[in-house]
């Protein structure tokens, strides 16, 4: 019984040491990363050189020089807003990860919303028509609707 509890204590100490070690490794990784907006801005902007990729993910030499230019601008004391404005002036809206919600860009937001609403209305109309109550249908034939000759043949078969 004593050996079992020793194993439990050893395992708990091992887990604690692993948790402390991984936490300190994460802190060391965070300390190695440079601080400042110049290293975050390329993650927020799309690359004008690699369509569909952020500036941080683009591997072209032009993207690398633009990332270095951003770092130099931060070192020179410029604000992030000033640098973003200059980049947007230079490259246009291609740097934006999403279109502006003004002017023609509003269609990127309005069209899906309208399509969703229109689809919902279509589904509601369809379901309403499907569940609308209709008069109950009788499975028995109405009296007197059958042919008299056919009724005579059926009666003969049943009695005979």
Give the residue carrying structure tokens 């601080």: 35
Average per-residue pLDDT for the chain = 80
pLDDT of residue 109: 84
pLDDT tens, residue by residue, 116-140: 999 999 999 999 988 886 666 666 6
Quote the crossing angle between the two packed helices 80-91 and 61-75, to the nearest 10°: 150
pLDDT tens, residue by residue, 20-41: 666 555 554 444 555 689 899 9
DSSP string, 91-159: HGGGG-SS--SSGGGGHHHHHHHHHHHHHHHHHHHHHHHHH---PPPPSSPPTT-S-HHHHHHHHHHHH
Confidence class for position 19, pLDDT limits 50, 70, 90 = low
């Amino acid at each position: 019984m004593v050996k079992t509890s020793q194993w439990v204590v050893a395992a708990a100490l091992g887990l604690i040491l692993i948790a402390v070690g991984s936490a300190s490794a994460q802190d060391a990784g965070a300390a190695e990363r440079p601080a400042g907006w110049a290293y975050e801005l390329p993650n927020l902007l799309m690359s004008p050189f690699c369509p569909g990729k952020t500036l941080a993910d683009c591997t072209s030499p032009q993207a690398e020089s633009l990332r270095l230019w951003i770092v130099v601008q931060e070192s020179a004391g410029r604000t992030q807003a000033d640098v973003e404005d200059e980049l947007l002036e230079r490259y246009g809206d291609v740097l934006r990860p999403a279109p502006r919600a003004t002017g023609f860009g509003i269609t990127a937001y309005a069209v899906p919303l309208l399509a969703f609403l229109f689809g919902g209305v279509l589904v509601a109309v369809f379901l309403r028509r499907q569940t609308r109550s209709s008069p109950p249908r009788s499975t028995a034939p109405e009296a007197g609707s059958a042919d008299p000759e056919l009724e005579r043949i059926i009666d003969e078969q049943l009695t005979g």
